[in-house]
Amino acid sequence: MLFWRDVVSSKVGNILAIFALEMENGIKYEFTAKPWLHEWLFVAMPEEMAREIRENLKFQEEGWGRMKATAKVGNSEWSTAIWFDTKSNTYLLPIKAAIRKKEEVEPGKEILLTIWV
């Protein structure tokens, strides 16, 4: 998993340059997850990653804990949103049907995801 704070803490001397670079496209997070089906196909972000996003970027949330994001699976990238789920204490990312089909995403099959928030 890649966390924004790891990049910043390892480059303290260049913190402003790194922050500006990361903010140009949003802060990048990478993780693996197994999608699950509940009418839609979702993945849950690792709780530690979700906690970092919520602690630092909660001000970007809209109604119902929705936060705009860009997601990538395989070679497919799309504009979307993540939603904070209080029951699971993490953000959930829905995966569009077109992406699922193109990238052969199936429930229970681990995939690598990248999101920018």
Percent of the chain beyond pLDDT 90?
Answer: 67
pLDDT at residue 42, rounded to an integer? 95
pLDDT at residue 14, rounded to an integer? 40
Q: Which residue ranges form the domains of the chain, and what is each CATH number?
A: 4-116 (2.40.30.100)
pLDDT tens column, 20-57: 344 456 889 999 999 988 778 999 999 999 999 999 99
Residue from 79, 44, 43, 83 nearest 61 by CA: 83
pTM for the model:
0.72
- Which alpha helices (H) appear in the chain, and where do they start and end? 4-10, 15-25, 47-57, 97-103
* pLDDT of 89 higher than 90: yes
Query: Given CA atoms 108, 111, 40, 98 in this order, what sign does their dihedral have?
Result: negative
* pLDDT of 9 higher than 50: no
Mean pLDDT of 69-93: 96
pLDDT tens column, 63-77: 889 999 999 999 999
